[in-house]
Structure 1
Amino acid sequence: MIRKTQRRIVSKDGHNNVRIDNVEGMVKLYLHDIWTTVVDMKWRYKLTLFASTFVMTWFIFGVIYYFIGMGNGDFEADLNSTHTPCLMNVQTLTGAFLFSLESQTTIGYGYRFISEECPLAIFTLVAQLVITGLAEIFVTGAFLAKLARPKKRAETIKFSQLAVICQRQGKLCLMVRVANMRKSLLIQCQLTGKLLHSHVTQEGEKTQVHQTSVDFHMDSSGECPFLILPLIFYHVLDEQSPLAGLTAENLHTQEFELLVTLNATMESTAATCQSRTSYVPKEILWGYEFKPVLFSTTGGRYVADFNFFDKVQMSNDAAFLRNNADKLKLEEDYKRE
């Protein structure tokens, strides 16, 4: 039997799986916010834009200089001895291109230089330096903005591949594990969740995706001061939970997606970052708990062994195990892995 693949809005690595289609005037909308469009470009397109910005401005102004020299009669064969060219030692389009390149990169002037007898060429030179200077600032700023985006910092935040459900302090809880892969701290960390599922209103209107808030806590608080150790955040499955009524028997028959988002502030730059992942029912194990990942050493230090980060084990709660023996039997295939 072919198993139906469940659609998901957010991938495991936090990327958006929703495709935007049939939007009228999409190109115009992107051009209105050109800065964001350039920053969001993929690197191959950004490198192409960076290179083409320089090459095209060198060539365009080189052509302009060539036409200025042509209009001034600098390329005629029988020049008067008293004739002063606009661009000295420029006889071809290639020479004009090289003069434009030298002017824009400020590596001249030596062999080729501009004459003070040609105001139009002087005005063109000033315009080139101003226009290309602004273009270079824009492109370079977009490069730096993309490199410094909090999105890159979010990639060093790791979520457990699976979520587990077991007893915690006498309460049935859904738990996920989160870790910071860098030594630099993340402060004011807050984990929030959204349950995405289809919903039918009292009026009979069916929504394809309905969002319900899912609160996650760590100990007695929803916010932790800093993320220095791999931590487990949990959501209590009580009557106020949007997952109320979830049991070991009906877990894998449900159709929902749990979107988990970590919002934090980077201590080094004070910029905020956000990292996301999602869990579907087949990625939630009933009756399991996470294996310990933190160990102490003889030198008085702690070691977080990430070989155990995604490892789970059966819950130690004997009563919970007896009540869910059938479910745990179904999970034996995962245990063998």
Structure 2
Amino acid sequence: MKFRLKRLLQKQREFLIPLVHIKLQNGQFEILGLGVWYSYWRDPYHLLLTLPWAGFLALIALLYVATNALFALAYLAGGDCIENARPGDFLDAFFFSVQTLASIGYGAMYPKTTYANTIVTVEAMAGLVGIAVMTGLAFARFSRPTARVMFSRVAVITPHEGVPTLMFRAANQRRNQVLEAQMRVYLMRDEVSLEGLFLRRFHDLRLLRSQTPSFVLTWVAMHPIDEYSPLYGMTPESLTQTNTTIVISLSGIDETVAQVVHARHSYSADEILWNYRFVDIMHYTNEGHRYIDYSHFHDILPLD
């Protein structure tokens, strides 16, 4: 009974969640302090897919060296069991392990005892499994579809058709098309219910155009702030007091890979500027052709 109670308390301690801080950046939640109670090593597949390439390659190199070192120690434990290797020399055993793990087989060194042949058999199978796993992980990382979408650094609130309108820009940084692109915009802010319960509530922001058949160049998203808008009646001060954040989610089908791609971004209260407008980036050449000047993509001007 005491043993079962001890195991139960241990499991409860493993799932206790301490105080963590949540920060939203570029449309993605970053939870600070999460590593105190949750270890990424509990989900190694997700860890290897989300690591940066530099960290992924460094981890693979570390595992490769550590594996060969362990097998080298196993060969040394068998005494003089490798032909043409210096007895007791770690480097000879290590490089013999490298040749065995990668199925190189130069022939200069080879096992000469039953013990060594047994270790070679185990290592050869471990090498086959390791190469298959690493190949699958590398392919999974390369094959993940990604979108290269640039969002304006700030969002503005400016009159449009006589109605105050929240606006921001998005641009496709690739030369291909994103088909059937859809954009969803959400407002997050702190609220208190009638019962006094603190809530971090989401609100949908209706766009004048929330989808396009082909997202090629730029997209100016517009949300009219009318009496039905969650932003109606709010001021820059109230946005700051309620920790308001605008979250954008853009998705569509990449015509190159024929897979769904996603892009996210967010604007905090201090990145929403009132009574500003974006600089026009659509221009005409002397021959009457239209072109887009991306050098002013983020530029804004105050209203007169």
TM-score (norm 2): 0.80
Gap runs ≥5 in structure 2: 1-20
Counterpart residue identity of residue 97, structure 1: F
SS state at 2:256 partner: coil
Distance in 2 (alpha carbons) for counterparts of 1:123 and 1:217: 70
Q: Quick check: 1:203 aligned with 2:195?
A: yes
Residue type of the alignment partner of 2:170: V
**Where does residue 124 of structure 2 map in the other structure?**
129
The yes-or-no answer on 1:145 pairing with 2:131 is no
1:18 to 18, 31, 41: 31
Identity %: 25
Aligned residue among 74, 82, 89 for 1:64? 74
Instruction: Structure 1 unaligned segments of length 5 or more: list them.
Output: 1-6, 76-85, 316-327, 329-337
Determine helix, strand or coil for the equivalent of 1:45: helix
Q: Name which of 45, 55, 63 aligns with 2:65.
A: 55
Q: Distance in 1 between matches of 2:69 and 2:23?
A: 46
Query: What's 2:239 paired with?
Result: 254
Match of 1:182 in 2: 174
Q: Determine the C-alpha separation between the residues in 2 that align with 1:132 and 1:215.
A: 55
| Structure with more strand by fraction | 2
Distance 1:109 1:17 in 2: 49
Q: How many angstroms apart in 2 are the aligned matches of 1:294 and 1:272?
A: 29
Q: Does the 8 A contact of 2:101 with 2:126 survive in 1?
A: no
Amino acid at match of 1:103: T
Code of the residue aligned with 1:58 in structure 2: it is: N
- Look up the match of 2:11: none
Out of 90, 100, 123, the position equivalent to 1:103 is 100
Cα distance change of structure 1 residues 286 and 97 upon mapping to structure 2, 3 Å threshold = closer
Runs of 4+ in 1 over 6 A off after TM superposition: none
Q: What is the match of residue 228 of structure 1? A: 216
Whether the aligned pair in 1 keeps the contact of 2:183 and 2:211 (CA below 8 Å) is yes
The answer to whether the 8 Å contact 2:27/2:248 transfers is no
Give the corresponding residue for 2:256. Answer: 268
Is 1:9 paired with 2:23? yes
* Structure 2 CA distance for partners of 1:281 and 1:109, relative to 1, 3 Å: closer
Question: Which amino acid letter does the alignment assign opposite residue 66 of structure 1?
Answer: L
Distance 1:237 1:206 in 2: 25
Whether 2:159 is the aligned partner of 1:162: answer: no
Q: Look up the equivalent residue of 1:19 and give its one-letter code.
A: L
| Paired residue secondary structure (2:191) | strand
Between 15-24 and 126-135, report the one with greater CA deviation: 15-24
- Residues 126-151 of structure 1 show CA distances to partners (whole Å, capped at 9, x for unaligned) of 2212212222333343344334444x
State the AA in 2 paired with 1:18.
Answer: I
Cα deviation code 1:158-186 (max 9, x no counterpart): 11112122333444321111001110222
Distance 1:244 1:59, change over 3 A: same
Q: Is the 2:149–2:172 contact (alpha carbons within 8 Å) kept by the matching residues of 1? A: yes
Is contact 1:252–1:282 with CA below 8 Å preserved after alignment?
no
Indicate the RMSD between aligned Cα atoms, in angstroms: 2.7
Deviation for aligned residue 1:196: 1.4
Distance 2:272 2:279 in 1: 15
Counterpart-to-counterpart distance in 1, 2:58 and 2:188: 39
Structure 1 equivalent of residue 296 of structure 2: 308
1:41 equivalent among 48, 51, 66: 51
